[in-house]
Amino acid sequence: MTDHIYRVIEIAGSSEVSHAAAIENAITRAAKTIRHLRWFEVTQMRGEIEDGKTRHYQVTLKVGFTLEG
């Protein structure tokens, strides 16, 4: 295995459904513009409340992807 170099970025995804869905939204969006996505770690789980109900679920993720060359 050659000596892989990863870049680690931080992204926040949201969803009106659940934190789980917010994670998928974030990774799907990242995959649109970044290749070789390898791993993610959840660093924060938040949400916005309106009229006593959870309106938006938000997660912040660290995402690692291998750098080419």
Output phi, psi for 26, to 5 deg.
-65, -45
Q: Which string of x and - marks every residue 23-52 that binds a second copy (by CB under 8 A)?
A: xxxxxxxxxx----xxxxxx-xxxxxx--x
Count Cα neighbours of 28 within 13 Å in the Cβ-side half-sphere: 9
Cβ atoms of residues 57 and 21 within 8 Å: yes
How near is the Cβ of 15 to a second copy at its closest, in Å?
A: 5
CB of 64 to a second copy, least distance (A): 7
Q: Which helix (H) or strand (E) is 33 found in, with range?
A: helix 19-33
The site for a second copy, by CB under 8 A, has a size of 51
Q: Which residues bind a second copy (CB under 8 A)?
A: 1, 3-16, 18-20, 22-32, 37-42, 44-49, 52-54, 56, 60, 62-64, 67, 69
